[in-house]
Amino acid sequence: MSRQTLRAAGMVTLVIAALLGSAYALGRSLVPEQPQRSTGMTATVNMPHYADQPPSQDFPGTPPDSPGPSESGPPPAAADGEGPYGSWISTGSSRVALTFDDGPDPQYTPQVLALLKEYGVKATFCVVGQNAQSYPGLIEAIVADGHTLCNHSWNHDIDLGERSPDAIRADLLRTSDAIRAAAPDARIAYFRQPGGAWTRPVASTCKELDMTPLHWAVDPSDWKAPGADKIINAVLTQVGPGSIVLMHDAGGDRSGTVEALRHLLPELLDHYQLEALPVGTT
């Protein structure tokens, strides 16, 4: 093969390579950029964050996202209380009960306790087992101030009611054990299902363990951290004689709840007696 022929072949190869490179670059420019995936991790890792509370007030009826009729069905006629599956939504008297969920929390629980003590009010604290185990001193403080304790599951498991009766029982017993490790003589008379997602098995199991299923009548959605003004307005609009009021002292930023409580306590005391739910004999 002559030198001229080789040179011509080389030129053709270069031209083809250049054309292929241009085509690749054009193709890449037509493909949209793929966004980076978020890991879903948050920067706050010190405390569990529960943003869950569904304000289910439609009784009778099945709470949102609960199991189907074969597992739960519509709540039966309330034999014990007027809430789902016989849970309490009323104190049964003209008195109003304040309840605080998801604690104890080292930042907000002491602030709530200080305000309650300032106004001479007793309340009910629905505590998470993990938090009771982590902060036993706060469980002791709740009991020492004369407040009532309520079991709120080990790790705020909204799907707890969908599990087997044995799994539900184990969860409730583990939580009560953590509470009693901090306050051995405390009576745990109530259980509140996380998210209000009651089912027949969870209601039956807590009753078998001598705990009253505890729901609520007033939900200011403070778990959404809407600000003190909205929390205050919601409570004062919804509250009435016998109301059980749902609030939170843990599970997220509860500064708005603390500020709302500062204004709500004197206002409520002008119109109602406030009580901790009764626990019976120890």
Are the C-beta atoms of 274 and 146 separated by less than 8 Å?
no
pLDDT of 25 over the 70 cut: no
Supply the pLDDT for residue 21: 53
Active-site residue (options: 101, 105, 157, 219): 101
Per the annotation, the verdict on 152 as an active-site residue is no
Q: Strand ranges (DSSP E) for 84-218?
A: 97-101, 124-127, 148-151, 188-191, 212-213
Are the C-beta atoms of 66 and 73 separated by less than 8 Å?
no
Superfamily the domain 89-269 falls into: Glycoside hydrolase/deacetylase (3.20.20.370)
What Å distances lie between residue 36 and 25, 40, 42, 130, CA to CA? 22, 12, 16, 34
Pick the more confident residue, 159 or 46. Answer: 159
Average pLDDT, the chain: 81
Pick the more confident residue, 133 or 28. Answer: 133
Per the annotation, the verdict on 219 as an active-site residue is no
- Fill in the amino acid letter for 10: G
Best-predicted range by mean pLDDT (52-61, 67-76, 193-202): 193-202
Task: Encode pLDDT of 223-270 as tens digits.
Answer: 999 999 999 999 999 999 999 999 999 999 999 999 999 999 999 999
Across the range 84-100, mean pLDDT stands at 95
- C-alpha closest to that of 182 among 137, 218, 151, 216: 137
pLDDT of 222 over the 50 cut: yes
Supply the pLDDT for residue 57: 44
- Res. 82 pLDDT band, cuts 50 70 90: confident
Identify any residues that bridge with 97 across adjacent strands, giving them in sequence order: 244
Active-site residue (options: 215, 222, 248, 249): 248
CB count in 10 Å sphere of residue 67: 17
- Fill in the amino acid letter for 25: A
Can you give the pTM of this predicted structure?
0.76
